[in-house]
Chains A and B, each alone.
Chain A
Amino acid sequence: MRYHYFPGCSLKGLGRAYDESLRPVMERLGVELAEIDDWNCCGATAYMSTDHCNACALGARNIAIAESSGPGDIVAPCNACYLALNKTRNCLAGDSATRAAVQKALAVAKLTYTGTAAVRHPLEVLVYDVGINVIKRNVVRPLKDLKIAPYYGCQLVRPHCSFDDQWNPTAMDRILTALGARVVDFPLKTRCCGGSLTGTAPEAGLRLTHIILGEAQRRGADLIATICPLCQFNLDSYHDQIARRWGPARIPAVYITQLMGMAFGLPTEQLGLKRNFLPADKLLAAT
């Protein structure tokens, strides 16, 4: 199985533990990730707030480069990248004026957008291309006795996702179960973490992060499993400020790929677990 890989800026920056753990886990499962040559920022929400056509051109450049380098779908692990690239695809499919303008812009770089490469999230690839049984077969150190809250964040499942439910997705629940963990029933699994508002409007942003952490605590979770670098950053980085305002809710947040790596018996130091502010001690002790 070969895919074009779009890591995105976060996976090279604050969320690099996601990139570090995703690569060896995918390799173990026989998934080849070929990084898209000279990929650019997806534009995220900030670019879409400024200019629609330019935001589409940014996404289209990445997709066009991937398409020109061979067949295969694109894997985008960051929820914001996944959404931005899928939004681009949907806009270009349904809006001929934007498509013509974007093609004209791409022509400057001698690129052409065809729309043949689908944009997919690792969760989808893991559950539907690799398969739960294959994941289960690779588990050598089950995450037994660990209670994990699956937190998907908002931008994976809404509104462009075709492989899971918009309010109650289950792909990550199924993977966690296959790893031997106890999945906590977590109704806030797709509630917004606050996104960049934790920095720009902390009164509102931190409260949203606190709500996720507090609910995970109430439900007895040892850990929160995440699939988005911004969610992981928010849930991990503001414990002192949150404790000051609303009381402590110190639950470590790790990437699903770090949990998979631990369960697969991969060396801990390869999984970026030391990059957490709040260390996942229970995970390290349990495996």
Chain B
Amino acid sequence: MELGQKIKCEADRTAGFGKAIAAMPGCERLGSCIQCGACSGACPLSIYMDQSPRQVIALVRGDFKKQALSCNTIWLCSSCYACTVQCPREIGITDIMYALKQCAMSERAYPAGLSIPILARQFVRMVVRRGRITETRLVMRFFLQTNWKAAISSWRLGLNLIRTRRFGIRQQHIKQHLELAAMLAQAKNANAGGSP
């Protein structure tokens, strides 16, 4: 029988991780969580999560960085803010999910086989280059990179989009896209060092 570690221990902790997340914008009240689970109850996606939102809060507070960043929870969060408005301790749970996503993105620590972060990455690239999103192109690029079979099986959707004249293939862009890219590079530099 193969043995695997079932319970987290001191060696799994990354000291200072919880404090670093709590220092990020909107996450200030992390420490006041009473583990009531109202967030998990309000979350429409918690039934698909490997750690409930309540558990994620506990993992972050306990400095279990690896477990917090590698769960599917933060990526299944669709930012509906149900948890945030339901929380009796007024914790910005959605913002904590965002902070964890930012951290996982910058360290490429998201779970393998999950395509949601790839869409986010492609979205950002298109905005930096063009200033606007052309949805049809973004979705096609996403499927080509992650699951080309799905792209083929959604031919009916594509045909329907053509039929309803919404299959916009021409890339939308702003006039000052170079200026915008320079602006974003400037803001990114200001951000460096802020992420745990």
Which B residues between 87 and 129 are near A, CB-CB below 8 angstroms? 94, 98-99, 101-102, 105, 114-117, 119-121, 123-124, 127
**If A10-B135, A159-B81 touch, does A106 touch B183 (CB 8 Å cutoff)?**
yes
- What A residues does B164 contact at CB under 8 A? 274-277
| Contact yes or no, A105 B82, CB < 8 A | no
**B174 touching A38 by the CB < 8 A rule?**
yes
Q: Which of A50-58, A139-147, A176-184, A215-223 contacts B (4 or more CB under 8 A)?
A: A50-58
Find out whether the CB atom of A108 lies under 8 angstroms from the CB atom of B186: yes
Residue of B nearest to A52 (CB): B25
Whether a CB of chain A sits under 8 angstroms from the CB of B20 is: no
State whether the Cβ of B149 lies closer than 8 Å to any Cβ in chain A.
Answer: no
How far is A98 from B116 in the complex, measured between Cα atoms in Å? 27
Q: How far is the CA of A62 from the CA of B115 in the complex (A)?
A: 30
Docked pose: A61 CA to B172 CA in angstroms: 18
Instruction: Determine the chain B residues whose CB is within 8 A of the CB of A14 once the complex forms.
Output: 135-136, 161, 166, 168
B105 touches A49 (CB 8 A): yes
CA of A45 to CA of B183, assembled, Å:
20
Question: At the interface, yes or no: A200 with Cβ under 8 Å from chain B?
Answer: yes
- Which residues of A are found within 8 Å of B114, using beta-carbon distances? 201
Question: Is residue A114 within 8 Å, beta carbon to beta carbon, of the partner chain?
Answer: no
Q: Are A158 and B82 in contact (CB-based, < 8 A)?
A: yes
Stretch at the interface among B7-15, B55-63, B187-195: B187-195
Main secondary structure on A side of the interface with B: helix
With A109-B180, A158-B80 in contact, is A200–B191 under 8 Å at CB?
no
- Interface size of A by CB at 8 A reads 62
Contact yes or no, A41 B127, CB < 8 A: yes
Chain B interface main SS type: helix
- Taking a contact as CB atoms under 8 Å apart, the answer to whether B24 and A50 are in contact is no
Interface membership of A171, Cβ < 8 A: no
Contact A166 B85 (CB under 8 A): yes
Option from B25, B94, B180 in Cβ contact (under 8 Å) with A95: B25
Interface residues on B, range: 35 or more
Whose C-beta in chain B lies nearest to the C-beta of A167? B85
The interface residues of chain A lying within 8 Å CB-to-CB of B190 are 53, 100-101, 104-105
Bound-complex Cα distance A228 to B168 (A)? 19
User: Across the interface, do A54 and B188 meet the contact criterion of CB distance under 8 Å?
Assistant: yes
For residue A100, which residues in chain B have a CB less than 8 angstroms away from its CB? 190
Chain A, residues 194-232, CB within 8 Å of chain B (1/0): the string is: 111101110110001001000000000000000000000
List the B side residues contacting A9 at CB < 8 Å: 132-135, 172
> Which of B24, B82, B168 is most buried by chain A, counting CB atoms within 10 A of its CB?
B82
Bound CA span A237–B82, Å = 25
Given A14-B166, A158-B81, list of 17 further CB < 8 A pairs?
A13-B133, A14-B168, A41-B132, A45-B78, A46-B124, A48-B79, A49-B98, A50-B121, A51-B124, A57-B184, A61-B180, A105-B183, A105-B184, A108-B182, A191-B44, A197-B78, A200-B116
- Measured CB to CB, the residues of A under 8 A from B are 9-10, 12-14, 16, 38-41, 43-54, 56-58, 61, 91, 95, 98, 100-102, 104-106, 108-109, 154-155, 158-159, 166-167, 191-192, 194-197, 199-201, 203-204, 208, 211, 237, 240, 274-277
Q: What residues of chain B have their CB less than 8 Å away from a CB belonging to chain A?
A: 24-26, 44-45, 48, 76, 78-82, 84-85, 94, 98-99, 101-102, 105, 114-117, 119-121, 123-124, 127, 131-136, 139, 142, 156-157, 160-161, 164-166, 168, 172, 174-176, 179-180, 182-184, 186-188, 190-191, 194
